[in-house]
Amino acid sequence: MALRNIAIIAHVDHGKTTLVDELLKQSGVYRENERVQERAMDSGDIEKERGITILAKATSVEWKGTRINIVDTPGHADFGGEVERILSMVDGAIVLVDAAEGPMPQTKFVVGKALKVGLRPIVAVNKIDRADARPDEVINEVFDLFAALDATDEQLDFPILYGSGRDGWMAEGHEKPDDASLAPLFDLIVKHVPEPTVADGPFRMIGTILEANPFLGRIITGRIHSGSLKPNQAVKVLSADGRQIESGRVSKILAFRGLERQPVDEAHAGDIVAIAGLSKGTVADTFCDPSVSEPLEAQPIDPPTVTMSFMVNDSPLAGTEGDKVTSRVIRDRLLREAEGNVALRIEESDAKDSFNVSGRGELQLAVLIETMRREGFELAVSRPRVVMHRDEDGNLLEPVEEVVIDVDEEHSGVVVQKMSERKAEMAELRPSGGNRVRLVFYAPTRGLIGYQSELLTDTKGTAIMNRLFHEYQPYKGEITGRVQGVLLSNQAGEAVAYAMFNLEDRGPMIIEPGAKVYQGMIIGIHTRDNDLEVNVLKGKQLTNIRSAGKDEAVKLTPPVRMTLDRALSWIQDDELVEVTPKNIRLRKLYLDPNERKRFEKQRAAG
């Protein structure tokens, strides 16, 4: 059977996973009466809740005698490590672009990687039915983007389709035809994407996706570069530098058939398969015949730009809500995560029971923390810090990101002001239709930590911000952080509504009445710039003397909700987020007030 391997790449929320749903439906993967799950490729709970793809996943469809392996990739820059690996598995790519928004920063990032590998993309303009669609301008922007990324003449001569992934149609024109379907897209994939290039020689394959299966153990997915593979065949694993990691036998070969993976008796060069039976081989390793001595070249992965400290939870409430609390289980879990996610880097810290976890951005690390707390882990995490470098002359360099903000014209002034306070330089300002403007900045990553929620507040929730790592530049100097102090509990117990009511003048609370608190825990946001210790346990003094006015029920202002993402970006360097399966609490690094004063003196002196 003829074979095609293709990836669907696009900016976040431009409709990749929805399009894959329709490709599966129209290729006959489902039975006529089968109940179909929406966004079938987003299998994880967090993916469904956030509406984003986090892990790259493969599926397969048949079309007129050709098997098409499709890889759905994440659209968020924080998960770019997934995309970089996947591109080595495919021979073509569908670049999906929103008909109104046009190519966005993540489109630029992924397309740049695809063009570098030599893929000739198909451009599909999605959401053509939007009221503010501007397909012709978008195609011009895509062409300019390809040209700016040094595309070859063959790559610039890309085929174009227009349509709506949600409604399940694509066509060569803007109008929806009477016999609307995705057939033009299927036909174009078969015609435009080349067959997999197959090398001569024995079995070789680079691992690109790693997962753990309770029955089969470690499963590695990749594309077979050369030769063929059968169950029980002897293979060995080579690292990128040519060292032999292990040797063993393949217990099972799984091929993608629709959403299912089915065991096969033989897999040939060019096909994308998953293999089980090896215990140490991981992503970017070469799985090969015992006679092979040279590993295949793996795609280089961009370095991490943000790091956080993951620590054992040592608060007075430690161990009361989670069952995985020791440094050993946290370390094992982090190392297991780093095996399958090449964009993560785990290092043991100098501090006791602490690990430095580096990744592409706050979202990637927040998703890891959220996954761990759902698995029953308790831990404390620090504020994200950027990864600095030094050049040959010893000058300090910091990561700078390209930031694209789409916002209503009336709010553009406050956005420009806040970004300039964060040492950002404006590169472009242009109208983007419907009384909105598109602002492009180059801003240090340090200044962007915690800005997302502030941006939404400043623009009444109308702004859309997209970020992408640009380059390392000389250090930009100090950036003022949070201007407000915090309200701290001065003792342990349960918060009382009466005490919280009397403290409302001091600032908004972030806890509910009845919440368990301890000394040094953050319970509210101070209206001034200093930290204040308060008693949140003080109940009303009851006497037998009646007051003139009858007692009224205490009416509390609803607390400020601190989600995990917001808490990570809001805290300061001397504060931690305590994460448990049931709660997210904020606290000072040093709970004892005397230790805090000593730390402040040392910091001021040093």
Binding-site residues for GTP, please?
13-18, 126-129
Question: What's the gap between Cα 238 and its chain centre?
Answer: 29
DSSP assigned state of 411: G
Burial bucket for residue 198 (CB in 10 Å: 0-12, 13-18, 19+)? middle
Structure tokens at 408: 């209503």
Structure tokens at 356: 């430095």
Burial bucket for residue 475 (CB in 10 Å: 0-12, 13-18, 19+)? middle
Task: Tell me the C-alpha distance between 216 and 245, whole Å.
Answer: 20
Residues 6+ apart with CB under 8 A from 207: 220, 221, 222, 281, 282, 283, 284, 285, 286, 287
Burial bucket for residue 439 (CB in 10 Å: 0-12, 13-18, 19+)? buried
Amino acid identity, position 169? W
Maximum C-alpha span of the chain: 97
Question: Is the separation of the CB atoms in 75 and 201 below 8 Å?
Answer: no
Strand residues in 11-112 grouped as ranges (E): 57-63, 66-72, 92-98
- Torsion angle, alpha carbons of 38, 142, 80, 300, to 10: 140
Structure tokens at 228: 């063929």
Structure tokens at 373: 């707390």
| Pick from 502, 586, 488: nearest CA to 533 | 488
Structure tokens at 13: 């929320």
DSSP assigned state of 582: S
| Pick from 546, 215, 94, 568: nearest CA to 369 | 568
CB atoms within 10 A of CB 21: 23
Binding site, by residue number, is 13-18, 126-129
Residue 205 bridge partners (DSSP): 224, 287
CA dist 529 to 472, 486, 506, 532, Å? 32, 8, 11, 10
Question: Is the separation of the CB atoms in 163 and 171 below 8 Å?
Answer: yes
Terminal Cα distance for the chain, rounded: 69
Residue 124 bridge partners (DSSP): 96, 161
Amino acid identity, position 39? R
Burial bucket for residue 561 (CB in 10 Å: 0-12, 13-18, 19+)? exposed
Task: Tell me the C-alpha distance between 274 and 91, whole Å.
Answer: 18
